[in-house]
Amino acid sequence: MTATTTVVPGDETSRAPSETQWQIVIRRFRKHKIAVVSLVLLLMLVIISALAPVIAPFPRDAPNLQTRFVPPFTVDSQGNFRLFGTDHLGRDFYTRLLYASRVSLGTAFFATLIASTIGILLGMIAGYFGGWVDIAISRTLEVVATFPTLLLLLIMSSILVQNINSIPIPDFFANFLAWIFAVSPREARIIFAVILVLSLFGWTGTARLMRGMVLSVRENVYIESSRALGASNVRILGRHVFPNALPPMIVDFTLGINATLVAESALSFLGFGIQDPTPTWGNMLSFAQSYMFQHPWMPLIPSLPILFCSIAINYIGDGLRDALDPRQRG
């Protein structure tokens, strides 16, 4: 099941038997040129957004009515150079975009991390133990899958964001999130609510995929021999089942980040996700849309990063799929 076991005689992978499994994966991934370029650019974006508070040229939300709607690459009336212009409140777009990248990418990453963890655990339990546990988990999956996800996302997000003070989030946790996202603790609570909502619906696909993988992995002889040697279930799951079911999960996780990123942007765009003044690509685009008739350049500023990220992440997922499981081409 792993990359090492899929070596076919005559395949170039058999050329270097001394390579470790991950070296093979990296070598295969590097063949997918667009994926490599995407990965490099995306990593650069992540680094830039991580440095947001250091490199941002202006305060994040300091409205300035004298400098509203300054076009990109121009100098405003006060002599400041505006790389990406300013928004309807005169806030610097470049500065806000830096912070927004941090919020949007971070939210997508953590929501997907939580969702994938839930999905992998449940899928593993359902697939490995079978019986009534499997039935219970699979039925829950089926029911959750029949819900109209977008509607529920909107409803839950709207409710949680409206009643943000009634969600018990410990202060230290809110402060920790605030540090990660470079926002105030109050904003961090809203971000956390959105992460929760997004992860609540994101796990079903992962669980189904994991269950299928485990069902096929657990029939292998090495599982049987491991059990014969007296290994506990936890050891078998952790040492044998999980690593062998991992490759498709990595691809799933990558594509999941894109789906969550788009979902978060949509929520914020429609006004039910992370709220202004916390910048996200979605809510910046929503404001830009209202002013695009007078200032057609405005929607480009927040939508280009969304476009870039979703295409880049999809290509990375594609590259990873080729690298991790060459038989799944198509």
Min CB(192)–another protein separation in Å: 17
Element (H, E) at 74: strand 74-75
Q: Is 101 left (phi over 0), alpha (psi -120 to 50) or beta?
A: alpha
Instruction: Examine residue 266 and tell whether it contacts another protein (CB under 8 A).
Output: yes
Among 22, 73, 81, 147, binds another protein (CB under 8 A): 147
Judged by beta carbon, residue 44 or residue 155, the one nearer another protein is 155
C-alpha separations of 198 from 90, 119, 144 in Å: 31, 13, 14
Min CB(285)–another protein separation in Å: 7
Among 166, 168, 219, 234, binds another protein (CB under 8 A): 166
Q: Which stretch binds another protein (CB under 8 A): 62-70, 98-106, 109-117, 140-148?
A: 140-148
Q: Which of residues 306-325 bind another protein (CB under 8 A)?
A: 306-307, 310-311, 313-314, 318
Among 151, 228, 229, 234, binds another protein (CB under 8 A): 151
Q: How far apart are CA 213 and CA 312, in angstroms?
A: 27
Instruction: Examine residue 205 and tell whether it contacts another protein (CB under 8 A).
Output: no
- The site string for another protein over 277-296 (x = CB under 8 A, - otherwise) reads --------x---x--xx--x
Instruction: Examine residue 159 and tell whether it contacts another protein (CB under 8 A).
Output: yes
Instruction: Examine residue 150 and tell whether it contacts another protein (CB under 8 A).
Output: yes
Q: Based on the number of CB atoms within 10 Å of its own CB, is 151 exposed (0-12), middle (13-18) or buried (19 or more)?
A: exposed
Element (H, E) at 81: strand 81-82
Helix (H, G, I), strand (E, B) or coil at 86: strand
Instruction: Examine residue 136 and tell whether it contacts another protein (CB under 8 A).
Output: no
Min CB(186)–another protein separation in Å: 17
Task: Provide CB contacts within 8 A for 2, sequence distance 6+.
Answer: 21, 243, 244, 247
Both tokens of residue 136? 């219970």
